[in-house]
Structure 1
Amino acid sequence: MHPHQELSVNSGLHVETSSRRFLPTAEIVQCEDYRSAVRLAWARRNRPHMTQRQLAEECCLYPPHVSSYLHSESVNKHGARRLDLPADRITAFERSVGNHAITQYLTRLGMLTLMEEVIETRRP
């Protein structure tokens, strides 16, 4: 089995092999924030007919919260902040959608922060 392939049981009905893929850097750099990386991962899922309910079941997420994680607006009509995908569910989410978009975004963000720190410490 390829290192990025995993066997997963989908609702106990059948076993499927899903391969997580890396998305093009050009798509990752377009992500303005964590929410947009989550939405990109969902938009580029390898099972286009997968529903938010299926995603919730596979990732052990509360189904009504999934629509909040995937909503384009970070604030609802009452001004309350929408929920973000919990960090401890990133791996399960990426496994279900079949790509590494969130990890790619966070890695890129971390590298930029690290480079900024290196540049700052080298200034006279």
Structure 2
Amino acid sequence: MDQLEFPLLGRLNAPSVAPEQWVRYAKTYRDVVRIAWELRRVKHSKADMARDCKFHAQHISDWLAKDDKPRRRSLPGDCITKFNNYVGNTLVSQWLARGDQLTVLEEITATKQVA
């Protein structure tokens, strides 16, 4: 019997952690936002996200547009947590942390040292 591969490591009370392969696959911030959207837990529409998260529909269209024209808006930093929660994965945050070469263990260690 073949094993089934689950696309995300599921958490019920928070967004799921995305597999490392998706973090490595995304080359740009705009790529990772689009991939996180494609991997969303529940396949809601852009209009649903605009309504539920109080985002502007036109902004969402820019964030998820396949072209990267200079006039396109990118997902703002202050919207990342709400976006992660809505799509049900932490891919955007993971990609940003990887870019800073930050690991969760380093963050925990630094927090303990300050406390």
TM over 0.5: yes
Q: What are the ranges of 5 or more consecutive residues in structure 1 without an aligned counterpart? A: 6-18, 113-124
Deviations 1:75-101 (CA, angstroms, capped at 9, x unpaired) = 0xxxx4200011100000010000001
Counterparts of 1:34-113 in structure 2, within 5 Å, are: 34-48=29-43, 50-75=44-69, 80-111=70-101
Paired residue type of 1:23: A
Give the RMSD, CA atoms, in angstroms. Answer: 1.6
| Aligned positions, number | 92
Question: Residue 12 of structure 1 aligns with which residue?
Answer: none
Q: How far apart in 1 are the matches of 2:56 and 2:78? A: 14
Please identify runs of 4+ aligned residues in structure 1 that moved more than 6 A. Answer: none
Q: Which has the larger radius of gyration?
A: 1
Task: Answer yes or no: is the 8 Å Cα contact 1:59–1:89 preserved in 2.
Answer: no
Amino acid at match of 1:37: V
- Structure 2 unmatched runs, 5+: 1-10, 103-115
1:28 aligns with 2:32: no
The TM-score normalised by the length of structure 1 is: 0.69
By percentage of residues, which structure has more strand? Answer: 1
Using the aligned pairs only, state the percent identity.
30
Q: Give the TM-score normalised by the residue count of structure 2.
A: 0.74
